[in-house]
Structure 1
């Protein structure tokens, strides 16, 4: 018999659904959120022709946008509206047409006002294409108690 989801996972799932209601950009990129939990997100997408740069490689902006989305789902998963303070991205390999990329965000530190995440972007062969580090500011606003619309700090 399977166990019911833990309260933290239930909250993370509820936050994900709340965020996705009006997230046109996630749909535009074709990002599929495979798993969320407290401080965690894993998503996947396939590299399409419209995602390539002039050299036939995955555009760095697409890689960054996918990582930023995973970062957003992970840092908001605790239910407090959070925004990015700073991020860095290291590009290690180029993505190619048809690659199936996985972006995995893991929480490294969670404090009252600041949280830190490490992300890896890998292809279907397990090759690491990029590394991303994000630091988020955590507001006191409960995500699930507000309508899905742009928020201001």
Structure 2
């Protein structure tokens, strides 16, 4: 019995969107945190999050780890837009300003370098006023030959 799999898009933008959809289907962490993938393109992604009451720490500001999670999520969607399974091999983050309860944070990821199995991505996290809350730099590792999207079977 054969299973129908839609063909894998050849257009880079359509491929990035198909990869986003495949990742989102199993992305329980982003779903639980209420993250929204606003935009994807080859090597780019924009993800947003509203700071909820359960995201605020004892200083009444958004927990830095959750800001890192938002940035890491934009990083993941950006570097997986090529239909090759890619994971983080490391990252660093600078927390530049506090985020408050109710803030709308947006993480914008862009590819700096991608070659072989390694990639480098910069992610900026801003609040709804455009104030930069954090700068994140991620290093990626690609598993060559491992597709994110299911392959057609005969």
TM above 0.5: yes
Structure 1 residue 57, shift from structure 2 partner: 0.3
**Are 2:134 and 1:130 equivalent residues in the alignment?**
yes
2:88 to 81, 84, 87: 84
Matches within 5 A, 1:42-61: 42-61=46-65
1:142 to 132, 138, 147: 147
User: TM-score, normalised on structure 1?
Assistant: 0.89
1:29 corresponding residue in structure 2:
33
Query: Highest CA radius of gyration, 1 or 2?
Result: 2
Alignment length (residue pairs): 142
Structure 1 residue 24, shift from structure 2 partner: 1.1
Distance between the aligned counterparts of 1:75 and 1:138, measured in 2?
Answer: 9
1:7 corresponding residue in structure 2:
11
List gaps (5 residues or longer) in structure 2: 1-8
Q: Secondary structure at the match of 2:85?
A: strand
1:102 to 94, 101, 106: 106
1:151 corresponding residue in structure 2:
none
1:149 corresponding residue in structure 2:
none
Q: Secondary structure at the match of 1:97?
A: coil
User: TM-score, normalised on structure 2?
Assistant: 0.89
Structure 1 residue 44, shift from structure 2 partner: 1.1
Structure 1 residue 145, shift from structure 2 partner: 2.5
Distance between the aligned counterparts of 2:73 and 2:13, measured in 1?
Answer: 18
Distance between the aligned counterparts of 1:67 and 1:6, measured in 2?
Answer: 28
Q: Secondary structure at the match of 1:77?
A: coil
Distance between the aligned counterparts of 1:31 and 1:6, measured in 2?
Answer: 28
